[in-house]
Amino acid sequence: MNRVFQAIETLLALLLAGMVVMVFGNVVLRYVFNSGITVSEELSRIFFVWITFIGAVVAMRDGSHLGMDTFVRALTRRGKIACCVLSQGLILICCAMLLRGTWLQHEVNASTLAPVTEIPMIWVHGVVYLSASGIGLHALVKLWRAVTGQISDSELLEISESEEIPPVHVAESVDR
């Protein structure tokens, strides 16, 4: 499974690099040569959509999504498991809704072409299939582990801490 996520992270890095090259190259071409690459704006937008949705799967695996654990930390293990079951159930419902909505729009997206690149829009919106399936699979596994009691306490509070630097406390001056 680690190889799959390494491949996903490599894909994300390549998409980001491609987006940066296209946007930066287009800016340079426009300001220096008064011309640009017409497909770069549209492709960079498509890359951004893919980065967002595929990155959501990686964030789900890492527990990096925004969360607030103040309430859950105060609960007993049984209460934490109940909250985990509830949250994973809600995540599964959201994933099912995303999959259903994308499926209902599939034919429209497959027949609609992007204006410049003429890529079928299913290549843009189809990433939701991958994202919702990946997030849903992760939520299903975590839900199963919670229901069967195989989940650890650290997994019940799977929220990444803030990366902000804590404030520096300066001692008060005693000079008067």
| Region of poorest pLDDT, from 8-17, 138-147, 155-164 | 155-164
Q: Cβ–Cβ contacts within 10 Å for residue 47, how many?
A: 21
For residue 15, the SS3 value is: helix
Q: What's the DSSP call for residue 113?
A: B
Q: Is the pTM of this model over 0.85?
A: no
The four Cα atoms 16, 18, 20, 24 give a dihedral, to 10 degrees, of -170
Is residue 72 packed enough to be buried (19+ CB in 10 Å), middle (13-18) or exposed (0-12)? Answer: middle
How much of the chain is in helix, strand and coil states, percent to nearest 5?
70, 0, 30
The band of 96, judged by pLDDT with boundaries at 50, 70 and 90, is very high
Where do the domains of the chain lie?
2-156
Judge whether 139 and 56 are in contact, CB under 8 Å: no
Judge whether 58 and 138 are in contact, CB under 8 Å: no
Which residues are 113's β-sheet partners? 120
Q: What does the alpha-carbon distance between residue 10 and residue 16 come to, in Å, rounded to a whole number? A: 10
* 155 CB-near residues (< 8 Å, 6+ apart): 84, 142, 145
Q: What is the pLDDT of residues 61-80, one digit of tens each?
A: 887 777 777 788 888 889 98
Q: What is the pLDDT of residues 98-123, one digit of tens each?
A: 999 999 999 999 999 999 999 999 99
What single letter denotes the amino acid at residue 81? I
Mean pLDDT of the chain: 87
What single letter denotes the amino acid at residue 134? G
The band of 164, judged by pLDDT with boundaries at 50, 70 and 90, is low
What's the pLDDT score for residue 161? 57
The band of 176, judged by pLDDT with boundaries at 50, 70 and 90, is very low
